Amino acid sequence: MDSPGRTTDLDLVCEREHLLAALAPTYVWWQLEGSPEERCRRILAQVMNLGTYDDIRAVERLFAAGELAAVMKLAEPGWLTPRSWDFWRGRLGFSTEHDVPEAPPARRFDAEVLQTGL
C-alpha cells in the first residue's frame, strides 16, 4: 500500500500528461504526428529548446535526466539549437553513462538530389 503523499507510477504518468498538455499549445504550433512517445519527445524537445525557466523546471521535476538525454539522442536536425544543446549537456551533467554527441544533429543535403530535383 502506498503511503500518503507518495507518488505512484500512475500518478506520475497523469502528471506528465497534464504537464505536456499544458505546455504543448505554447511550444508546438503545428499538428504533431506519430506515436504518443514521439509526440511527447517532440514537445519535450521544444521546451528544452525554447522553454522558460519555470517550464524547464517543471519538466525536470517530472522527467529524469536519462529521459531528457534520450530526447537529445533521438532529436532530429533543427530540434535544438547549438546553444540549447550545450545548455542541456551541461545541465544534465553528462558522464560516460550518457553518450550524447557534443553537437546537435545537423541537416545534411545530398547535392546530387538537389541538382537533379529527384
The Cα 10–Cα 7 span in angstroms is 8
List the domain range (segments joined by +) for residue 109: 9-116
The Cα 45–Cα 42 span in angstroms is 5
Per-residue model confidence (pLDDT) at position 25: 94
Task: Kindly indicate the confidence band of residue 91, based on its pLDDT and cuts at 50, 70 and 90.
Answer: confident
Whether residue 3 is contained in a domain is answered as no
Whether residue 2 is contained in a domain is answered as no
Per-residue model confidence (pLDDT) at position 32: 87
- Mutual orientation of helices 65-73 and 36-50 as an angle, nearest 10°? 100
Domain count, the chain: 1
Q: Which three cell numbers stand for residue 67?
A: 529521459
Whether residue 112 is contained in a domain is answered as yes
pLDDT value at 69 more than 80: yes
Per-residue model confidence (pLDDT) at position 83: 95
Length of the chain: 118
pLDDT value at 33 more than 80: yes
